[in-house]
Chain A
Amino acid sequence: MAESDASLVARVRLGDTAAFEILMRRHYRVAYFVALAGVNNDTDAEDVCQDAFVAAWRHIADCREPDRFGAWLVRIVRNTAHNRRDYLRVRVAEPIESGGGVAGGEASDARALRHELRGQLMRALAELRPVQREIVLLHDLAGLRHAEIAERVQVSENMSRRHLSDARKRLRALLGDYATLEPDHD
């Protein structure tokens, strides 16, 4: 059975970096998507995660509910992303640009298509309200259920469903043919 967050936090308070690594890996995807929702750029999102993790390490004594470490970390990530966006003045509509130039060949064609799809998705996500963007990423990519999202985003479960529904409608309208539907998990 996996060690609880509360137990890991107690070890971190004693300076145990191995325990902190377990916590980071356990909460990485959620932290990453919250950061991505905030800065809309994957490189900046990773930097935000780093900064937020370091801040969490430094201020672990302030984590008053160690069993809810995930929710506490999300708040740090969101604040860090907010500060970084302000500092860098990142344009929310700027799409992710990762990967190099595209050469010829079938693999390159597939990569080019994925690159284009990625750009379309990021531009569409940028049109959503921040809370909608966060919820759609946490639900559809991080795989959280509404109860888990409600705890981390500080909204009710019903509001989480409503934001997700509104976000999907908006994305579908923006993406048109790019919108590929999948079965839902929640």
Chain B
Amino acid sequence: MTDRPPPRGDGRIDLSAIDSADASRQDRVVAATLARIAANSRQSATDFSSLVMPYIRPAVAAAVLLAAVAVGTVVLADRPDPADQQQPVALLTNWADSRHVPTNGELLLAFQGYGGER
């Protein structure tokens, strides 16, 4: 689509006297803008750090506490119960102390449970 020519006597007015968009001024504006963008980026990074920093120490402390609890739980869970382990021995000791002769049933009950855990 071609533009129609302007009506007669409607010519362009020379406005070049107000044309301040020359290369040097453009360079200055572009450089200033890039500097502001860089400064904003640095500021954003700083803002993020300052936002996160107060929470870092409590977060680390909580993580250490959780880790300690987790490790403790695992260690305790893996260790065999000493009471269970010593139950037949204790029974035998009791029987010997009281000079009780265990019946076959008592022996089976005592040692079945002990052997079943192995």
A and B associate in one complex: yes
Residues on A lying within 8 angstroms of B by beta carbon are: 17, 20-21, 24-25, 28-29, 32-33, 36, 42, 45-46, 49-50, 53-54, 57-58, 96, 98, 114, 117-118, 121-122, 125, 136-137, 139-141, 145-147, 157, 161, 164-165, 168-169, 171-172, 175, 179-186
Check if A32 sits within 8 Å of B21, measured CB to CB. Answer: yes
B13 proximal to A (CB < 8 A): yes
Q: Which residues on the B side are within 8 Å of A161 (C-beta)?
A: 3-4, 6
Q: CB < 8 Å: which of A29, A50, A171 contacts B13?
A: A171
Q: CB < 8 Å: which of A25, A58, A96, A185 contacts B18?
A: A96
If A139-B12, A179-B14, A182-B12 are given as contacts, then 5 extra A-B residue pairs at C-beta distance below 8 Å, sorted by A number, are A21-B30, A21-B34, A25-B26, A29-B21, A42-B20
Check if A147 sits within 8 Å of B1, measured CB to CB. Answer: yes
Check if A54 sits within 8 Å of B40, measured CB to CB. Answer: yes
Q: CB < 8 Å: which of B13, B25, B38 contacts A182?
A: B13
- The range of chain B's interface size is 20 to 34
Count chain A CB atoms within 10 A of each CB in B1, B13, B18, B32 and give the residue with the most.
Answer: B18
Q: In the docked arrangement, what's the CA distance between A122 and B81, Å?
A: 95
Check if A114 sits within 8 Å of B33, measured CB to CB. Answer: no
Check if B33 sits within 8 Å of A141, measured CB to CB. Answer: no
| Given A17-B34, A141-B15, A141-B19, CB of A169 within 8 Å of CB of B26 | no
Q: Which residues on the A side are within 8 Å of B26 (C-beta)?
A: 25, 28-29, 32
| Contact bitstring B70-97, A, C-beta under 8 A = 1, else 0 | 0000000000000000000000000000
Q: Which residues on the B side are within 8 Å of A125 (C-beta)?
A: 18
Expressed in whole angstroms, the minimum distance between the Cβ of A147 and any Cβ of chain B is 7
Q: In the docked arrangement, what's the CA distance between A45 and B28, Å?
A: 13
Chain B, Cβ-Cβ closest to A30: B21
Residues on B lying within 8 angstroms of A by beta carbon are: 1, 3-7, 10-21, 25-26, 28-30, 32-34, 36-38, 40
| Given A118-B17, A136-B15, A161-B3, CB of A50 within 8 Å of CB of B10 | no
Expressed in whole angstroms, the minimum distance between the Cβ of A69 and any Cβ of chain B is 15
User: Could you name 5 residue pairs across A and B whose Cβ atoms are closer than 8 Å?
Assistant: A24-B29, A121-B15, A141-B15, A164-B6, A168-B10
Expressed in whole angstroms, the minimum distance between the Cβ of A86 and any Cβ of chain B is 22
Q: Which residues on the B side are within 8 Å of A141 (C-beta)?
A: 15-16, 18-19, 21
Q: Which residues on the A side are within 8 Å of B33 (C-beta)?
A: 24, 49-50, 53-54, 57
Check if B37 sits within 8 Å of A183, measured CB to CB. Answer: no
Q: In the docked arrangement, what's the CA distance between A33 and B22, Å?
A: 12
Q: In the docked arrangement, what's the CA distance between A144 and B117, Å?
A: 92
| Given A21-B34, A161-B3, A182-B11, CB of A121 within 8 Å of CB of B17 | yes
Q: In the docked arrangement, what's the CA distance between A74 and B10, Å?
A: 27
Q: Which residues on the A side are within 8 Å of B11 (C-beta)?
A: 168, 181-184
